[in-house]
Amino acid sequence: MRFKLIAAAISAALAISLLGAAGASAATQAGNNCTANRGEENLTLYGLANGPGNPLSATIPVSGVVTKWTFNAPPELEPGFFNQTLKILRRVGGNQFQVIGESASSPISGGLNTFSTRVPVLAGDIIGTVGSVKGSIVTLYCETGNPGDRLGVIKGNPSPGSIASQTEEGAGFQSPVTVFVEPDADNDGFGDETQDACPQSAALQTPCPPVTLSTSTQVKTNSVTVIVTSSTAAPVTVKGVAKLGKGKKAKMNGGTQNLLPGTLNKYRLFFTKGLKNKLKELPPSKKVTLKVNVTGTSVSGAVTTKTLKLKLKGQGPKS
């Protein structure tokens, strides 16, 4: 593959340099951190393979969301002269590639340029770029001289969702682009590390709300009905325990229900045989304390517990 040099923008004498490793992060980095030293008109360019010794995968190794990308421009590049756009492609068969998504077009300057974006990706997707100068397509790339580096070529600037054909492939060339892919546990299209404050719910990107519980009770002869309302959708469990004396306890389980916000939900705590007998032994002036725990769990796993203490009157004869 023979690419011509855009002499007005880059010196042919530029050397290839590697950047230092990125700081610790949950994101996965992929691409190639070579420094651009050439440019080509009317092409979208994308990395297909990195040569031996490159610690990064040329293609995206994990599914998730691209939240950040870098472009390593030649040091002497005039600020704002070039614009670059990240392109994510997916092979759909043979030399056919679909554009899965792209970043905003951003002006670059000499050195490492870093941009935020949000592009959902799958493992195996391909990292590309397209550039512009004063309205014309001009894409920068690296001539590395490493035969293991391979660069693919598509004519023009295909739009997201479109399918385009690879027209050429060259060894010893690469695209100076890296991406940072964050996990997306809830598949909402937002990176869990920097873009999604509630990765447990696809409906929320703000912090996961805690569960707020409202309760009321109805005491009957042989049971207690607990009426519960939750502020958010959550599983809510109701349990009760009463001390019968001499170390004995009566334990009751009202079960677990998946509550919807704002709805009234009833739980029944049926008295055990021991509690019934205890109440029949006591006159109405005496009481047994029933401790009821109402527990809800938010989507983030945070637990909210509301404790109720009910005084159950004795059901025996008056003393």
23 domain-assigned: no
Task: Quote the pLDDT of residue 6.
Answer: 41
Do 103 and 157 fall into the same domain? yes
Best CA proximity match to 180, nearest among 170, 191, 172, 171: 191
For residues 113 and 43, state if they share a domain.
yes
Residue 7 lies in a domain: no
The torsion defined by the Cα of 60, 64, 67 and 69, in degrees rounded to 10, comes to 0
Reported confidence tier of residue 3, pLDDT bands at 50, 70, 90 = very low
Residue range 133-147: mean pLDDT, rounded? 94
Q: 224 and 299, same structural domain?
A: yes
In a domain, 146, yes or no: yes
Q: Is residue 206 part of a domain?
A: no
* Tally of domains within the chain: 2
Work out the pLDDT band at 25, boundaries 50, 70, 90.
low
Q: Which of these, 12, 24, 26, 21, lies nearest to 70 by C-alpha position?
A: 21
Per-residue confidence at 4, pLDDT binned at 50, 70, 90?
Answer: very low
Same domain, 48 and 164: yes
pLDDT at 38 over 70: yes
- Kindly tell me if the per-residue pLDDT of 319 is higher than 80: no
Tell me the residue range of the domain where 81 lies: 28-182
- pLDDT score at 152: 97
33 near 51, Cβ under 8 Å? Answer: no
Please, which pLDDT band fits residue 27 given cuts at 50, 70 and 90?
Answer: very high
- pLDDT, mean over the chain: 91
| Residue scoring higher pLDDT (1 or 122) | 122
77 and 219 part of one domain: no
In the numeric block, which tokens belong to residue 240?
Answer: 């009760």
Q: pLDDT digit string (tens) for 211-254?
A: 999 999 999 999 999 999 999 999 999 999 999 998 999 999 99
User: Average pLDDT, stretch 107-123?
Assistant: 97
In angstroms, the CA 240 to CA 254 distance is 8
Better pLDDT: 293 or 246: 293
Is residue 206's pLDDT more than 70? yes
User: Can you tell me the distance from the alpha carbon of 202 to that of 196, in angstroms, rounded to the nearest whole number?
Assistant: 9
Which residues lie below 8 Å from residue 93, measured CB to CB, with a gap of 6+? none
Helix (H, G, I), strand (E, B) or coil at 74: coil
pTM for the whole thing? 0.76
pLDDT cut 90: percent of the chain above it: 86
CATH number assigned to the domain comprising residue 238: 2.60.40.10
As a whole number, mean pLDDT of residues 190-200 equals 94
Domain membership flag for residue 283:
yes
Q: Are the beta carbons of 259 and 235 closer than 8 angstroms?
A: yes
Q: What local confidence, expressed as pLDDT, does residue 188 receive?
A: 95
Query: Are 142 and 219 within one domain?
Result: no
Summarize pLDDT for 59-113 with one digit per residue, the tens.
Answer: 999 999 999 999 999 998 888 889 999 999 999 999 999 999 999 999 999 999 9
pLDDT given for residue 24 in this prediction:
42
Q: Which of 241, 267, 270, 244 is nearest to 256 (CA)?
A: 267
pLDDT at position 99 is: 98
What pLDDT sits at residue 51?
94
> Do residue 162 and residue 53 come from a single domain?
yes
Evaluate whether residue 20 is within a structural domain: no
Question: How many residues belong to the chain?
Answer: 319
pLDDT of residue 2: 41
Residues 178 and 219 in one domain: no
* Residue 203 belongs to a domain: no
Measured distance between the N- and C-terminal CA atoms of the chain, rounded to whole angstroms: 105
pLDDT at res. 234: 95
Q: Do 165 and 61 belong together in one domain?
A: yes
Same domain, 174 and 221: no
- Side chain identity at 102, as an amino acid letter? E
Same domain for 62 and 130, yes or no, is yes
What number of other Cβ atoms are within 10 A of residue 158's Cβ? 20
DSSP state for residue 185 in the 8-state scheme:
T
